[in-house]
């Protein structure tokens, strides 16, 4: 996230998901704070990074299980957001 009037100045922060611990962290200069997924969803991200998850063996996820992981967003775009 950018906090300022222009890209040449201001303050940058980031939200990162810790896959091993299963929690979100707000990174702000020298401070790291654990935060909720609700806080992350309220932000206006302008760049997102994704990692591919690998599945062990022949494990499969059903369409029903996949849909259960999708949380509807509260924005005007009507697109679902998913978070691990």
Taking only the tens place, the pLDDT of each residue in 48-64 is: 888 887 777 666 777 77
| Cα–Cα distance for residue pair 7/9, rounded to 1 Å | 5
* pLDDT value for 76: 42
* pLDDT value for 62: 76
Res 6 pLDDT > 80: no
Q: Place 43 in a pLDDT band, splitting at 50, 70 and 90.
A: confident
Please indicate, yes or no, if residue 77 is contained in any of the structural domains.
no
Please indicate, yes or no, if residue 80 is contained in any of the structural domains.
no
* pLDDT value for 38: 92
Task: Determine the straight-line distance between the first and last CA of the chain, rounded to whole angstroms.
Answer: 20
77 three-state secondary structure? coil
Please tell me what DSSP assigns to residue 24.
E
| Cα–Cα distance for residue pair 66/8, rounded to 1 Å | 41
State mean pLDDT over 28-53.
87
Please indicate, yes or no, if residue 11 is contained in any of the structural domains.
yes
Please indicate, yes or no, if residue 68 is contained in any of the structural domains.
no
Closest to 34 measured CA to CA, from 49, 15, 48 = 15
Please indicate, yes or no, if residue 82 is contained in any of the structural domains.
no
* pLDDT value for 3: 58
């Amino acid at each position: 996230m950018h906090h300022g009037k222009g890209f040449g100045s201001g303050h940058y922060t980031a939200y990162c998901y810790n896959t091993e611990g299963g929690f979100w962290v707000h990174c702000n200069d020298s401070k790291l704070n654990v935060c909720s997924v609700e806080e992350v969803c309220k932000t206006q991200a302008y760049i997102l990074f994704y990692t591919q998850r690998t599945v062990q063996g022949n494990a499969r996820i059903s369409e029903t299980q996949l849909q259960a992981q999708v949380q509807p967003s509260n924005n005007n775009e009507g697109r679902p957001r998913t978070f691990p």
